[in-house]
Structure 1
Amino acid sequence: MSPRRAAALRDGEDRSLREHLIATAERMISEGGTAGLTVRGIAREAGVADGVLYNHFSDKEELLAHAMRAHVRSVERGLSPLPDPGTGEVAENLRAYITYGLALHHGILPAMAGLIGRPEVLARFAEANEPGEDWRDRLVGYLRAERALGRLAPDARVEAAAAMIVGVCHEAVLSLLFHGTAPEPDVDALAAAVLDGVGLRS
């Protein structure tokens, strides 16, 4: 272990310096958002020299993208588990997915607000995503699985249904961000509207 790494990590800490830097930036984002976050501030909080960050990341944007990804995962750990396909009632499960999506978007809004004018960070954030791990991907996967199980119509346009739900979640947080207030979406009505389009026909 290098002296620089030894000084930055606590005794017994089982993670790399790169992971330490991501965790430090994620904690700072969680506590104060992304606005005004600097390389110097992250380095100081992590206990390393400013230049050390560039030994592990190509630039500040890459570090922030990974830290934002870690922040999203942290918010998700505080939410209720999503239901599995084939369990419970489809309508109830869909409401759970919508409720989860709204809570997730509200949870990450303070951090995302500081990145509205930073498209390069948002692009890196999207690139850092593993296919299938985002809430939207899981929603689409859930709907596809229910269709395959015959609990939705065989010609159900699940991607369009998912886009509809994601759009409502985005509208809620963007209205709050730009107007300071947002109407609370009617989860039951949205789930019913989606199922009217993809439900089984009698």
Structure 2
Amino acid sequence: MPTGVAIRDAREQLFDAAERVLLRDGPSALTSRAVTAEAGCAKGVLHRHFADFDAFLAELVRDRIARIEQQSATLHEAAGTGTVAGNLTDALTALFGSVAVAIVGLITSRDELRARLRRTTPVGVPVLTEATAVIASYLIAERERGRIAAGADIDTLAPMLIGTGHLLFADRHSAPPDAGTVHKAVTAVLAGACP
């Protein structure tokens, strides 16, 4: 892109480009040059908006965490409707069918990125920690409606569902699992928790 040409929504354009590189080529291919080439802009554009590449990556992760938190509202609206397993199947598919699995790989492969994210997510793995909180909140809402057993251990169920979902979607080289496979896993995790 020629110098002096304004880029509309540069941050979002760079985030989307990073996501495409991450999904297509994996965390090791994610460099500032790869991102700016994918975005079709000069490398200086990234450094005009972010102090360095790890600052860019930290903001990318935080932006994707905000999207997960927005999905929380959709999941909460589903409480009391459909089936608990169906709602969780949809939520896990939406979460892990996106870039979340690739972002977890990125976080685990970059020490400086993890250190920066520790400032806002002091425990757990960013993205997975927030997703677990969303699932736990939904399970509590369903428990209040009597669709999850009063004695169900939500603090155990939520991370089990996130871990199961993550493992089902983790292989980025194969086709994602179909809804039936995800539903079967969710049903197995919820066994005994639904009255």
TM tier relative to shorter chain: 0.5 to 0.7
Alignment partner, residue 159 of structure 1: 155
Secondary structure in 1 matching 2:78:
coil
Q: Please point out which of 52, 58, 68 is paired with 1:65.
A: 58
TM-score (norm. length: structure 1)? 0.61
Check 1:49–1:33 CA distance in 2 against 1; reply closer, same or farther (3 A cut): same
Alignment partner, residue 120 of structure 1: 112
Which ranges of structure 1 fall in alignment gaps of 5 or more residues? 76-80
Q: Is the 8 A contact 1:86 1:149 kept in 2?
A: yes
Structure 2 CA distance, aligned partners of 1:47 and 1:58? 17
TM-score (norm. length: structure 2)? 0.63
Alignment partner, residue 80 of structure 2: 86
Superposed displacement of residue 41, structure 1: 4.1
Which ranges of structure 2 fall in alignment gaps of 5 or more residues? 69-73
Check 1:99–1:36 CA distance in 2 against 1; reply closer, same or farther (3 A cut): closer
Alignment partner, residue 7 of structure 1: 5
1:66-96 CA deviation, whole Å, 9 max, x = no partner? 3356578899xxxxx7561111233433343
Alignment partner, residue 171 of structure 1: 167
Structure 2 CA distance, aligned partners of 1:125 and 1:159? 23
Structure 2 CA distance, aligned partners of 1:56 and 1:117? 23
Structure 1 CA distance, aligned partners of 2:182 and 2:33? 44
Q: Please point out which of 180, 183, 188 is paired with 1:187.
A: 183
1:165-184 CA deviation, whole Å, 9 max, x = no partner? 1121233345x47xx89998
Structure 2 CA distance, aligned partners of 1:199 and 1:111? 32
Structure 1 CA distance, aligned partners of 2:93 and 2:24? 24
Structure 2 CA distance, aligned partners of 1:33 and 1:72? 19
Alignment partner, residue 141 of structure 1: 137
Q: Is the 8 A contact 2:15 2:60 kept in 1?
A: yes
- Kindly, what percent of the aligned residue pairs are identical? 27
Q: Is the 8 A contact 1:23 1:67 kept in 2?
A: no
1:105-149 CA deviation, whole Å, 9 max, x = no partner? xx5545655664313335546748999x95433221110101122
Secondary structure in 1 matching 2:29:
coil
Q: Whose Rg is larger? A: 1
Check 1:140–1:88 CA distance in 2 against 1; reply closer, same or farther (3 A cut): same
Alignment partner, residue 78 of structure 1: none
